[in-house]
Structure 1
């Protein structure tokens, strides 16, 4: 009887559909001279008043259609890591089906001037908080730029 119960239990567990890990891929891309998108070649310097073309990508592995919001910010950061000044450059939203990829081309036009400014991309699922920050984002990615 014990062998029969064990066999039935193992068969039942093996027959259950396996649900994978739910997550979202989020990344920054640039366009190479050959026209390929790559996760490298990020701008290190942008002139004030000029724009730089960038891309971000969101791939939905959440196992359900998801409403995403991406906020692009430029921030001045103290050596301690504290953000002393922050400005929102843009925001984007998209409803993305499970397994689909959202690729967004956009222009970054800085409004702050200085060295080592943090260009931050914040990803949210669903709604957007009143004060978007890296701490309350679902995902975050950033690069450092000098704006002259």
Structure 2
């Protein structure tokens, strides 16, 4: 009887050790799943931004027409852009707001080739200024880039 009690106590200790190990493994699996999701998320976000351009440093006007602005930018780059090729365009809140700096513009185009042609055309022109698209006032340089994820 005494041996049975000892055997049962040993089995209970083994069972408790196994339970603790299972809990530890579950916790590690959860952490690994979180890490995998964190790695996947930027890739998915970047995939969603594949057709996007970001326009930084373009002064804000109260009566601005963003579709007209992007068409003028595209035309300066040598690309004839139609309204149907613009899926959406709007000014966005920057990650870090700096007083006096205009909000960036994000434009989603209908396909990646349009975006690439606009970027390559602007590179050939060595950039763009406000005077190139008919904005009055002193000429200011602004930038048109791929719309990348922050990470």
TM-score with structure 2 length normalisation?
0.27
TM-score with structure 1 length normalisation?
0.27
Bigger relative CO (Cα 8 Å, ≥ 6 apart): 2
Structure number having the greater helix percentage: 2
From the CA coordinates, give the structure whose radius of gyration is larger: 2
Structure number having the greater strand percentage: 1
